[in-house]
């Protein structure tokens, strides 16, 4: 190959690589899905061991419980609604299309979680087991209430 041909071939390859990269990136709905699943995974990964402590399946560690509830509240306070762009259900997602048909209700349920997780973080600081248990129950209801209607 001549020098020019090498150059042309190289440029074509580079252009193809750039195009492939752009194609991979230009999927805002998929990105949003990954983002919200990551947030939910973090919330769930903390919520589960908290549930085990509340139920008595694991010894109650007040310090750990308080740390986890603070993290759950922090993650719940991010703008998760922004991670549900219109019609971003489909492959890989367990989000139901009802989310966008009943957006106001979905929004309200997101707000319920934010409020109750914040309360849980607050109550957890006190170390009053009965109050912690009660508030954990209230918080769990907000997860279930949304999942029942909007998650497959």
Binding site for ligand HEC (CB under 6 A): 33, 36-37, 40-41, 43-44, 47, 93-95, 106, 109-110, 113, 139, 142-143, 146-147, 150-151
CB of 105 to ligand HEC, least distance (A): 9
**13/100 with CB nearer ligand HEC:** 100
**Burial readout 18-40 (b: 16 or more C-beta within 10 A, e: otherwise):** eeeeeeeeeeeebebbeebeeeb
CB of 103 to ligand HEC, least distance (A): 11
Query: Which among 47, 102, 106, 59 has a CA at the least distance from the CA of 81?
Result: 106
Q: For residues 75 and 42, give the distance between their C-alpha atoms in angstroms, rounded to a whole number.
A: 8
CB of 78 to ligand HEC, least distance (A): 13
Max intra-chain CA distance, the chain: 81
Q: Which two tokens stand for residue 9?
A: 């071939």
**10/137 with CB nearer ligand HEC:** 137
**125/141 with CB nearer ligand HEC:** 141
Q: For residues 138 and 112, give the distance between their C-alpha atoms in angstroms, rounded to a whole number.
A: 10
CB of 133 to ligand HEC, least distance (A): 15
Q: For residues 67 and 72, give the distance between their C-alpha atoms in angstroms, rounded to a whole number.
A: 9
**60/102 with CB nearer ligand HEC:** 102
């Amino acid at each position: 190959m001549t020098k020019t041909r090498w150059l042309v071939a190289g440029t074509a390859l580079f252009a193809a690589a750039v195009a492939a990269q752009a194609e991979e990136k230009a999927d805002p709905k998929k990105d949003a899905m990954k983002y919200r699943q990551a947030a939910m995974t973090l919330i769930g990964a903390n919520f589960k061991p908290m549930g085990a402590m509340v139920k008595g399946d694991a010894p109650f560690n007040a310090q750990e419980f308080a740390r986890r509830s603070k993290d759950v509240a922090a993650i719940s306070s991010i703008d998760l609604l922004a991670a549900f762009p219109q019609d971003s259900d489909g492959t890989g997602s367990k989000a139901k299309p009802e989310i966008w048909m009943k957006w106001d209700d979905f929004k309200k349920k997101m707000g319920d979680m934010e409020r109750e997780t914040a309360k849980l973080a607050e109550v957890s600081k006190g170390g009053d087991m009965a109050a912690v248990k009660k508030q954990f129950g209230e918080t769990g209801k907000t997860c279930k209430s949304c999942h029942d209607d909007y998650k497959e």
